Amino acid sequence: MTGPSPLKRIYLSPPHMGPAERELLVDAFDSNWIAPIGPHVDAFEREFCETVGVPYAAALSSGTAALHLALLMLGVGPGDEVIVSSFTFATTANAVMYVGATPAFIDSDPISWNMDPGLLGEELESAAKRGKLPKAVIVVDLYGQCADYGPIIETCERYGVPVVEDAAEALGSTYKDMPAGSFGAVATFSFNGNKIITTSGGGMLVSLDAGMVERARHLATQAKDPAPHYQHSEIGYNYRMSNLLAAVGRGQLRVLKDRVSRKREIFHFYQRAFGDLPGVSFMPIAGYGEPNYWLTCILVDPARFGATREDIRLALEKENIEARPLWKPMHLQPIFKDCRVRSGSVSEGIFRDGLCLPSGTALTDAELQRITRIFRAAFKG
């Protein structure tokens, strides 16, 4: 006798592949360009530039590699300080450590959950008074929503500090009609398995500056000098994207618009499904742009909801549904406990009460209804 088959696991944001990806991948395979170089890498870079509206791009092995190279491009090194959004995934701050510099963290604003431009201004003012400005500022576009670049860029330009835009989660989002990836000296993207489009693992570095991207390609290809033999005048990295994965990325780019629109539908579905419950609020959508709604994120006030975000997460987990707490701010991470932070209470509150809900673009309406039933049953207000 067999019991009922277990319900298929619902993941947070799994890959969603289609026929174009398969066709392009087979083409890459059949052409025998099985290397971190090839026609699909070139075409992916070209098509990415067209999609994002940037002139130059280098396809890399990960978003982390792109951040690492971005800091090297800007000459960040030992003894330097880099300002970083505290509310982010660890890799943003790790990249600062890779180059031997030290991160200093800035809290979020409650309008977008991204770097608070006012606190950044205070930090740069006090750094200027100390006579030691940071070497760069890394601004993150979290959960698919751009930071408030108007005041951020203006402040950084006033102090002459370059900006790196970590747009890993924000492909397809806009800020004042400008696409994510348009801001700062360099911007970086991720095609990790859970991102809005994926190559299983991969990243892209983009810039308005052709020289910067050319240099990124050079460093990412072991920094080989132009000589017939193997000659190296500086330390290089093995950071280029495989031609096979670039083929998958090209197929994924073709459906980016559909993916954004399905993510938006899912966000609005959840809003209608339990936005009425006391104590539940959704990630604020800042009026200055359009997010890609990568993950639907909510806050749960336990005093009004009668249960915590962890109670909801466990209720979903029991039914084989994945939900996750939001990023734990960097200034709360044991590894960064000695780093400076400006404020911190906003991101601490978001972390305490926040939950990411399943947001995969292949979610069916029946699955969304199932999630809704479990969520509403958790309400004890």
Ligand X SMILES: Cc1ncc(COP(=O)(O)O)c(C=O)c1O
Residues that bind ligand X (CB under 6 A): 62-64, 88-89, 91-92, 140, 166, 168-169, 190, 192, 203
| CB-nearer residue toward ligand X: 112 or 280 | 112
| CB-nearer residue toward ligand X: 143 or 274 | 143
Sole residue written with tokens 């939001």: 326
Minimal distance in Å, beta carbon 142 to ligand X? 7
Which tokens is 226 given?
A: 């132009």
Minimal distance in Å, beta carbon 224 to ligand X? 24
Give the integer Cα–Cα distance in Å for 297 and 303: 19
| CB-nearer residue toward ligand X: 116 or 166 | 166
Minimal distance in Å, beta carbon 170 to ligand X? 9
Minimal distance in Å, beta carbon 221 to ligand X? 18
Identify whether the C-beta of residue 199 lies closer than 8 Å to the C-beta of residue 245.
Answer: yes
| CB-nearer residue toward ligand X: 88 or 112 | 88
Q: Give the strand pairing for 296-300 and 136-140.
A: unpaired
- Dihedrals phi, psi of 283, to nearest 5 degrees: -50, 130
Minimal distance in Å, beta carbon 272 to ligand X? 27
Q: How many CA atoms lie within 13 A of 218 on its CB side?
A: 17
| CB-nearer residue toward ligand X: 247 or 295 | 295
Q: Residue with the closest Cβ to ligand X?
A: 63
Which tokens is 168 given?
A: 């890993």
Which tokens is 238 given?
A: 């093995």
Identify whether the C-beta of residue 58 lies closer than 8 Å to the C-beta of residue 213.
Answer: yes
DSSP, collapsed to helix, strand or coil, labels residue 357 as strand
Q: CA-based Rg of the chain, rounded to a whole angstrom?
A: 21
Minimal distance in Å, beta carbon 187 to ligand X? 11
| CB-nearer residue toward ligand X: 331 or 370 | 331
Instruction: Label residue 285 exposed, middle or buried (CB < 10 Å: 0-12, 13-18, 19+).
Output: middle
Which tokens is 337 given?
A: 């406990």
Q: Give the strand pairing for 136-140 and 81-85.
A: parallel
Give the integer Cα–Cα distance in Å for 247 and 124: 42
Minimal distance in Å, beta carbon 31 to ligand X? 25
Cβ contacts of 129 within 8 Å, gap of 6 or more: none
DSSP, collapsed to helix, strand or coil, labels residue 235 as coil
Minimal distance in Å, beta carbon 89 to ligand X? 4
| CB-nearer residue toward ligand X: 15 or 63 | 63
Sole residue written with tokens 């700062």: 184
Cβ contacts of 234 within 8 Å, gap of 6 or more: 219, 223
Angle between helix 365-377 and 256-274 (nearest 10): 30
| CB-nearer residue toward ligand X: 171 or 378 | 171
| CB-nearer residue toward ligand X: 117 or 203 | 203
Give the integer Cα–Cα distance in Å for 294 and 143: 6
Minimal distance in Å, beta carbon 190 to ligand X? 3
| CB-nearer residue toward ligand X: 91 or 347 | 91
Minimal distance in Å, beta carbon 200 to ligand X? 10
